[in-house]
Structure 1
């Protein structure tokens, strides 16, 4: 029996605008197994959130190519009714900003209860009891009172906990967390991550963790997928990626993380910016910012290949033999 829960293959999600076609996600492969936590990392504009929203079929963009299989179901062929049965039930999402994701006109309890009544078929009283139980589970104090509060009455950390309670109310098989600790102070961030880890262990929920915080990835994830300009450029298990990053972009991201052991006066930063989707006309999308770019990098686009077992990289450096690669890297330093 397959252990795969979410399997995205060759996904291309384009936005059609007055200014032309924008390829937000351009040929992405992602696989998440049952009970696994996978981190999706990269700078803003790399296609992380669009990939997750496409998996939920919540993006206004159009899927022009590829497939999305969730627990054996072809997501792209499902009707709106069938998708509603999956969303919030088998697949749930914690959105980036809880204040704009929660409806200010309804109480916290009302918003948690809605999914419970729709998917679990509970009556109003029983749904409210479960909502209170979920608020207690995410360690919100006075859950019997908070259940009748409105979003503006809660702090940022409390709203994020309420979002997690809402997402976990129906015991989903997959939880998509889009920057779940953004705009929270460090103490609250740690509490939220501990909470998500505990919920995963007790319910065996798989987590797709979308973040640009590599500290969160190191603490939470089993595997890491690095995205750049709508493409996957590297993927490996978390220990391998942090110990032996292969792609120049991944190396740059890790070098950008502050370290108390570093004697450098200035923090390293990758030169340039993430390209505007659709602005690149060929070659490796990272070539304009890469210190090791070769002529072939500007002419052809590399494909994702194994450099070691279950360690995939999209870079022409690993198509050179070892001596050529060392000579090239040495010459460019």
Structure 2
């Protein structure tokens, strides 16, 4: 159901005296010309009265958290954008984040109430392949095939972490056996999403871990309907991506303005055709044509943040042990 963000008191972002800089740490694919960063930067700077919004690429999502931990209170970041629910508990435990102060209604598959982390998009993980590649219907079917996979490292990548938690959520005690079966299919493990997707596009891998929304890029941007996401019988793990204010920011007012801006149409309308995910708030114009063709999982899997944190190291160890054999 489409709802409209309701931001208390946000009729127009207030003017900011001088060229104040707001530094946002995010993941690599957010920043390029084809990503959402440039359009969001232009839209926010048009409203903030002379501020400078600066996106800083910091690797993939898990690498982003690692950088925040490493820099600690010395970080130059005012905003962290690109963590997800699997990393929220660990990020909260750093003590480096502050409440966002935003009141909004979100179009998410789950209810959302969190005063630190603000969602900006969401999707389901899936393997993406060419339409003429025989499609497995489950992890077990995939393990029995000869298909070559490009996946991401769960220690540095949010999709990689999502995959090991997907197997954990779908198969529980059988997760180790699933990974043992998949080990021969894994062609390579990359630090982040972009490297893995490039291997797929170059033909080195038959399929890549990505999202059910990824085929929309090829369909809308390239007019290419040859890419599909495989639907798995056991369901698909969700990702909800979030942003948070760094407590030590020297631009607290501007940071809160940006967090409020995230829930507006100016930000959310950029997401579907640049980040190729579902927006956290459906824009007034609805989703772009082509999103109606995407796979819709029958079962959505998601560990709550605290449980994801508890399961993370065990799930990674199971994955690592299977691939090391």
TM-score normalised by the chain length of structure 2: 0.28
TM-score normalised by the chain length of structure 1: 0.28
